[in-house]
Amino acid sequence: MLKVGMIGLGLIGGSLAKSIRLHHKDAVITAYDTNRDSLAAALEEKVISKALTKIDDFTSSDAFYDCDFIFLCTPVESFHVYLPLLKKVLKEDTVLTDVGSVKARVHKEMEEYGLNKYFIGGHPMAGTEKAGYENSFPEMMNQTRFLLTPAKESSEAALEKYKELICSLDAIPMVLDYKEHDRAVAAISHVPHLVASGLVDLVASKDEKKFLNEMAAGGFKDITRIASSNPHMWQNICFSNKVAVLEMLDSYISIMQQARENLAAENVEGLCNHFAVAKEYRDKIN
């Protein structure tokens, strides 16, 4: 029988718990969250088997003992609160993981706490602009690329066990180095959030007569949807991945500068190539 511990039942943690419940009916899922309403809803919906409301419950009960997986689904900034307690309850073959979008800091922290042999970083490439357990749904994991970043001491058996769980949730595991992970997500996730917010800021600054928002149609809404995400969360993500984000942001600015020069010089071939190269690559995205 699958036994899972969840720390945090927000959008991602809640969706992951719901997906596990959907695909593993008999799983024992124990969850901790500071939001008691989220815990109450998860219990009522029978998504979780047991709710922990106090951090002391980590070690004073048997809730997190003997877990196959323990998922950290809270902001990275709070990990230091939980790791010393989890260290006391991890069994030899427990997989400790997270769902965060930046990995360098997490891997460093796991090494500092001596938890590398248990830890495999996890990052489902999924989400919405919404937040909270109330917006979570089990299908979020469907056909999602679920990125895995093993620590140096991670065993092959633990990695295979994690990959099997991901496949059972109808998601697709993808293993890569944590440094490679952070550069990749800077390009495909973090910089796009900055760009989306920048486009919204542009329109807002030019909307003197207050009608541009009424004109905004599908294209603008699609490309800027993620600008509705939690500002504090994305501020933390960008600072956590600062070096990689700055590298990718500089590259993006260079591309935009070249597009501007092509437009200003009426370089038809150059501007057309700008669109054509993007179309060719975009059409290959599944």
Query: What mean pLDDT is predicted for residues 80-109?
Result: 94
Backbone conformation region of residue 33, classed left if phi is above 0, alpha if psi is from -120 to 50, else beta: beta
Query: What mean pLDDT is predicted for residues 78-106?
Result: 94
What per-residue confidence (pLDDT) applies to 61?
66
Which of the two residues, 115 and 58, has the higher pLDDT score? 115
Burial of 119 (0-12, 13-18, 19+ CB in 10 A): buried
199: confidence class by pLDDT, cuts 50, 70, 90: very high
CATH topology of domain 3-176: Rossmann fold (3.40.50)
What per-residue confidence (pLDDT) applies to 284?
92
Output the CA angle 223-224-229, nearest 5 degrees. 135
What per-residue confidence (pLDDT) applies to 60?
72
What per-residue confidence (pLDDT) applies to 121?
98
DSSP at 78:
G
Share of the chain above pLDDT 70, in %: 100
Buried b / exposed e over 125-149, threshold 16 CB at 10 Å, is bbbbeebebeebebebbeebebbbb
Alpha-helical runs (H) found in 173-241: 178-185, 191-205, 212-215, 218-224, 231-240
Decide: 159 and 120 in contact? Cβ < 8 Å.
yes
Give per-residue pLDDT as tens, 129-164. Answer: 888 999 999 999 999 999 999 999 999 999 999 999
What per-residue confidence (pLDDT) applies to 11?
95
Query: What mean pLDDT is predicted for residues 6-21?
Result: 97
What per-residue confidence (pLDDT) applies to 217?
75
What's the mean pLDDT when you consider all of the chain? Answer: 94
The answer to whether domain 3-176 and domain 181-283 are alike in fold is no
Query: What mean pLDDT is predicted for residues 58-75?
Result: 87
The CATH number of the structural domain formed by 181-283 is: 1.10.3660.10
Domain definitions of the chain by residue range: 3-176, 181-283
What per-residue confidence (pLDDT) applies to 209?
78
User: Which tokens belong to 17?
Assistant: 């718990």
Can you give the pTM of this predicted structure? Answer: 0.89
